[in-house]
């Protein structure tokens, strides 16, 4: 049993079963034993590899997409260039390199990283130098905002509900045999326990998830963009209005039981992009159709960039292109959503939602 597992078991013995979102929050962000508080999880020596760690091309495409949106909106200066959950700072470093070729953009950019982990903040400063950090997206300045969130929303704590013979019940973490952690079910606590779309009728055995924090974060971002201009890119694995059990753990690049090693494995769930889109639209932003990462990167010209790098002697460029865009790799599992200021053109690589385009 890990040190954090013992803490969680003691809390359950004292207060009863623990909601899944509370369990995830402790596992990821406990100040002493939390996953992100104690380690660098990225790359071959960690537990998983993100797109920016695979190739500089990913960050270059993101940077150029944000640069085009900035130009399309009249090159506002100053503006906030932000990233949610920036990992080692690799993506932002590649974005900053890409935008140096855009006259005036780097000088106008005020770089802000939203990061909860003190350990990762130190790593990001080593990568990027003296940059500003915030604890929460709601603290971002009221100013033009150009932002990326790559593999951020998948790490936000979720709740799960299962339809049984007596109706909906919430999945919780409880104590199983020999005091080990186990999943159980608890009665749904009133009508306000989850959004109506989650607790709508369903066949027995169906599991639905929702992320309580995701909507408010998107609302805060889209509200700033609607008021001051800008564009946000959300890149993550997931789908549109999906259902099912996607709660998962990754440790040493291998899947494992999410209850097996609390604090020592990355815990995530697939992102449901539909409520993110509706939250952005309700806050006054325009919203894109969801694109796969592969098709979006190819529309931006990543294949041509890979060919140029390969011709210049980069032996890994074409393999990286395949990993980032191929359907059997990251190309289809990962999706991209954009929301932006209503007066502005559609960002590069996207199409607007049909009903959004009608009232633009």
Please determine, for residue 354, whether its predicted confidence score (pLDDT) is greater than 70.
no
Question: What is the C-alpha separation between 91 and 158, in angstroms, rounded?
Answer: 26
Q: In this structure, are residues 285 and 343 in contact, taking their beta carbons and an 8 Å threshold?
A: no
Instruction: Decide: 182 and 175 in contact? Cβ < 8 Å.
Output: yes
Nearest partner of 248 among 1, 18, 31, 47, judged by Cα: 47
Q: What is the mean pLDDT of the chain?
A: 93
- The model's pTM is 0.94
Q: Residue 40: is its pLDDT beyond 80?
A: no
pLDDT in tens, 142-173: 999 999 999 999 999 999 999 999 999 999 99
Assigned CATH class of 37-157+211-253+266-358: alpha beta
Residues 6+ apart with CB under 8 A from 238: 153, 154, 246, 270, 271, 272, 273, 335
Both tokens of residue 312? 């210049």
Taking only the tens place, the pLDDT of each residue in 52-101 is 999 999 999 999 999 999 999 999 999 999 999 999 999 999 999 999 99
Residue 360: per-residue pLDDT = 44
Residue 64, phi then psi, degrees to nearest 5 = -70, -35
Q: For residue 43, what pLDDT is reported?
A: 54
Virtual CA dihedral for 260, 262, 265, 271, nearest 10 degrees?
100
Domain with CATH 3.40.50.12710 in the chain: 37-157+211-253+266-358
What is the predicted pLDDT for the residue at 355?
63
- The 10s digit of each residue's pLDDT in 234-287 is 999 999 988 899 999 998 878 999 999 999 999 999 999 999 999 999 999 999
pLDDT value at position 36? 83
**pLDDT of amino acid 353:** 82
Query: What values do phi and psi take at 343, rounded to 5?
Result: -80, -5
Q: What is the distance between the alpha carbons of residues 49 and 286, in angstroms, rounded to a whole number?
A: 31
Distance CA 269, CA 159 (A): 10
Cis previous bond, 263, omega within 30:
no
**250 versus 227: which is more confidently predicted?**
227
Provide the greatest CA pair distance for the chain. Answer: 64
Distance between CA atoms of residues 93 and 74, nearest Å: 24
Gap between the Cα atoms of 274 and 276, Å rounded: 5
Q: What is the pLDDT of residue 37?
A: 76
Element (H, E) at 237: strand 230-239
Contacts of 220 (CB under 8 A, 6+ apart): 137, 138, 140
Q: Which of 37-51, 168-182, 298-312 has the lowest mean pLDDT?
A: 37-51
Cα separation, 49 vs 247, whole angstroms: 18
């Amino acid at each position: 049993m890990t040190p954090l597992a013992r803490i969680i078991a003691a809390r359950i013995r004292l207060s009863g079963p623990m909601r899944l979102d509370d369990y995830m929050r402790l596992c990821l962000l406990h100040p002493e034993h939390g996953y992100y508080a104690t380690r660098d999880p990225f790359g071959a020596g960690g537990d998983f590899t993100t797109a920016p760690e695979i190739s500089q091309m990913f960050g270059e495409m993101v940077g150029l997409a944000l640069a085009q949106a900035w130009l399309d909106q009249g090159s506002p200066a100053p503006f906030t260039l932000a990233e949610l959950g920036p990992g080692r700072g690799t993506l932002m470093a590649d974005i900053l390199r890409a935008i140096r070729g855009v006259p005036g953009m780097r000088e106008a950019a005020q770089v802000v990283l939203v990061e909860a982990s003190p350990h990762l903040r130190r790593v990001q400063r080593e990568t990027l130098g003296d940059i500003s950090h915030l604890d929460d997206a709601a603290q971002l300045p009221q100013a033009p905002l150009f932002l990326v969130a790559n593999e951020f929303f998948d790490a936000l704590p979720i709740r799960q509900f299962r339809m049984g013979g007596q109706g909906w019940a919430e999945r919780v973490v409880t104590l199983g045999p020999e005091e080990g952690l186990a999943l159980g079910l608890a009665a749904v606590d009133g009508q306000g326990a989850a959004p109506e779309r989650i607790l709508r009728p369903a066949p027995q055995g169906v599991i639905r998830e929702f992320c309580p924090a995701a909507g408010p974060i998107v609302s805060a971002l889209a509200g700033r963009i609607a008021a001051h201009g800008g564009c946000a890119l959300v890149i993550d694995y997931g789908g549109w209005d999906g259902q099912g059990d996607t709660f998962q753990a990754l440790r040493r690049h291998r899947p494992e039981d999410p209850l097996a090693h609390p604090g020592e494995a990355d815990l995530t769930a697939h992102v449901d992009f539909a409520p993110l889109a509706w939250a952005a639209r309700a806050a006054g932003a325009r919203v894109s159709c969801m694109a796969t990462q592969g098709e979006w990167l190819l529309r931006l010209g990543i294949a041509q960039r890979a060919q140029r790098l390969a011709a210049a002697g980069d032996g890994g460029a074409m393999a990286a292109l395949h990993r980032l865009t191929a359907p059997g790799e990251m190309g289809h599992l990962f999706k991209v959503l954009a929301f932006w200021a209503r007066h502005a053109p559609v960002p590069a690589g996207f199409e607007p939602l049909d009903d959004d385009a009608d009232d633009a």
